[in-house]
Amino acid sequence: MFKTRLLSGIVLMIITIALMIFGGLPLFWVITLITVIGLFELYRAVKMEKTVPALIGYAASIGLDLLLAAQKTDYVIMLLIGALMLMMACYVIAYPKYCSEQIIMVFFGLIYVTMMLSYVFQVRMLEGGQLMVWLIFIGAWGSDTCAYCVGKLTGKHKMPSKLSPNKTIEGCVGGIIGAALIGFLFALAFTAPRPHCGGSLQWLVQYPLLFHKLAI
């Protein structure tokens, strides 16, 4: 089992490095595929993965990625509103087959999964993005490592969330500070053509990661 995980991890690392170096359409379609898979898993958590609202979510997700890749951001809100209206129509027509919480989760997936993952491609395609995109991965892995180490070494106060009974406040704070420190060191080590993107990008990565960790 360990050997299999190690080999798969090495293969995934090689693929990731290659995609980040070359970027372009291969990276775009891989991100789009991962996004659809992520949505499927999220929808399965609320038993909606094979429903009509979920199909609308998958189609809207691909549409969002295409718009963002083409830099047609003016149409993003229009697409989101259109998807929401279609999902709500399904809710009303099929009532009481779906509950409101399920429809909300299906729509939320477009923000939580699609929009957040799209930043990997968007950052990579920036001027100097071939370097800056690694901050996403380094920040995520570094934050997770810092949170784990600080929590294990100094964690005494449990998080109030019942979803993560083993998480501590010290670990949470350690992860945030660790990510900020990593971003600071990254900025010192490399000269980015758009340094103002670094701070906002770091928070865009760390906020969903923080709540995701609390749910594990």
> Quick count: other Cβ atoms within 10 Å of Cβ 55?
15
Q: What does the alpha-carbon distance between residue 159 and residue 187 come to, in Å, rounded to a whole number?
A: 31
Between the alpha carbon of residue 178 and those of residues 67, 105, 153, the distances in Å are 34, 31, 15
Domain locations along the chain: 1-121, 126-216
> Quick count: other Cβ atoms within 10 Å of Cβ 69?
19
Distance of CA 165 to the CA centre of its chain: 23
In this structure, are residues 98 and 53 in contact, taking their beta carbons and an 8 Å threshold?
Answer: yes
**Quick one: pLDDT at residue 215?**
42
The 3-state DSSP class for residue 2 equals: helix
> Quick count: other Cβ atoms within 10 Å of Cβ 110?
24
What is the full DSSP assignment across 164-216? -TT-BHHHHHHHHHHHHHHHHHHHHHS--S-THHHHHHHHHHHHHHHHHHHT-
For every one of its 216 residues, what pLDDT tens digit does the chain have, with 9 covering 90 and above? 566 766 777 887 788 888 888 888 888 999 999 999 999 999 999 999 999 999 999 999 999 999 988 888 889 999 999 999 999 999 999 999 999 999 999 999 999 999 999 988 888 888 888 888 888 888 888 888 888 888 888 877 787 767 677 788 888 888 888 888 888 888 888 764 554 454 555 544 444 444 444 444
In this structure, are residues 60 and 118 in contact, taking their beta carbons and an 8 Å threshold?
Answer: no
Burial of residue 180 (CB within 10 Å: 0-12, 13-18, 19+) is middle
Which letter does DSSP use for residue 157 in this model? Answer: S
Burial 142-152 (b: 16+ CB within 10 A, else e): bbbebbbebbe
**Quick one: pLDDT at residue 83?**
95
Residue 14 CB-half CA count within 13 A: 6
Q: What does the alpha-carbon distance between residue 99 and residue 97 come to, in Å, rounded to a whole number?
A: 7
pLDDT tens for 142-194 read: 888 888 888 888 877 787 767 677 788 888 888 888 888 888 888 888 764 55
Does residue 53 have a cis bond before it (omega within 30 degrees)? no
**Quick one: pLDDT at residue 193?**
52
**Quick one: pLDDT at residue 1?**
59
